Chain A
Amino acid sequence: MINNKRKLLKFFVLVFFYPILNIALAQKNEIKIIKINKNCWFLSTDD
Chain B
Amino acid sequence: MILNNIEEIDISNYPIIIIGSGPAGLSLALSLEKKNIKSIIIEAGDIEYSEKSQTYYAGKITGDIEEDFSSNRLRQFGGTSGHWGGWCCPLEEYDLKQWPIKKKDLNIYLNDACSVLEIDHEFNKAKINEDFNQVEFKFSKVKFNEKYYNHVTKTKNIILLLNSQFLYFKGTNKLIKSGVILSNKKQKEIFSKFFILASGGVENSRLLLWSRENNNGLFNKDLPIGNYWMIHPWLIGGSGLISKKKIANRIQDLENEDLLFFGTSENLKNKNNDLGGLLYMRPFEDVKLYKKFINDILCIAPVYGKKITRLIANKDLKCGNIFLHMEDKKEFNNKIYLSNQKDEFGIPKYILNYKFSDAVLNSAKYIMESFATTCVKNDYGRISIVEDIINLKKIRNLGANHHMGGTIIGDDYKRSVVDSNLNVHGIKNLFITGSSVFKTTGHANPTLTIVQLSLRLSEYIKNKINV
A residues sitting closer than 8 Å to B (CB atoms) are 31, 34-44, 46-47
Whether A34 contacts B300 in the complex (CB less than 8 A), given A39-B386, A42-B373, A42-B384, comes out as yes
Residue of B nearest to A42 (CB): B372
Q: How far is the CB of B293 from chain A (nearest CB, A)?
A: 9
Say yes or no: B301 contacts A42, CB within 8 Å.
no
**B387 interface residue, CB < 8 Å from A?**
yes
Whether A47 contacts B238 in the complex (CB less than 8 A), given A38-B387, A42-B375, A42-B376, comes out as no
For this complex, into which size category does the number of interface residues on chain B fall? 20 to 34
> What 10 pairs between A and B have smallest CB-CB spacing?
A42-B372, A47-B301, A39-B384, A47-B304, A41-B384, A38-B387, A34-B300, A43-B301, A40-B390, A40-B385
Residue of B nearest to A39 (CB): B384
Q: How far is the CB of A15 from chain B (nearest CB, A)?
A: 28
Say yes or no: B386 contacts A36, CB within 8 Å.
no
B385 contacts across to A, CB distance below 8 A: 39-40, 42
B residues sitting closer than 8 Å to A (CB atoms) are 238-239, 292, 296-297, 299-304, 369, 372-373, 375-377, 379, 382-387, 390
Contact of B296 among A31, A39, A42, A47 (CB under 8 A): A39
Contact of B387 among A34, A39, A42, A43 (CB under 8 A): A39
Say yes or no: A47 contacts B375, CB within 8 Å.
no
B375 contacts across to A, CB distance below 8 A: 42
Q: How far is the CB of A4 from chain B (nearest CB, A)?
A: 43
Say yes or no: B376 contacts A36, CB within 8 Å.
no
A44 contacts across to B, CB distance below 8 A: 304, 376, 379
Bound Cα distance A19, B384 (Å)? 33
Q: How far is the CB of B323 from chain A (nearest CB, A)?
A: 14
B238 contacts across to A, CB distance below 8 A: 39-40
Q: How far is the CB of A17 from chain B (nearest CB, A)?
A: 25
B386 contacts across to A, CB distance below 8 A: 38-40
Q: How far is the CB of B100 from chain A (nearest CB, A)?
A: 40
Q: How far is the CB of A38 from chain B (nearest CB, A)?
A: 5
A38 contacts across to B, CB distance below 8 A: 386-387
Say yes or no: A43 contacts B382, CB within 8 Å.
yes
Bound Cα distance A43, B296 (Å)? 12
Instruction: Sample 30 A-B pairs with CB under 8 A, ordered by A number.
Output: A31-B373, A31-B376, A34-B300, A36-B300, A36-B384, A37-B296, A38-B387, A39-B238, A39-B239, A39-B385, A40-B385, A40-B390, A41-B300, A41-B301, A41-B382, A41-B383, A41-B384, A42-B373, A42-B375, A42-B376, A42-B384, A43-B304, A43-B376, A43-B382, A44-B376, A44-B379, A46-B303, A47-B300, A47-B301, A47-B382
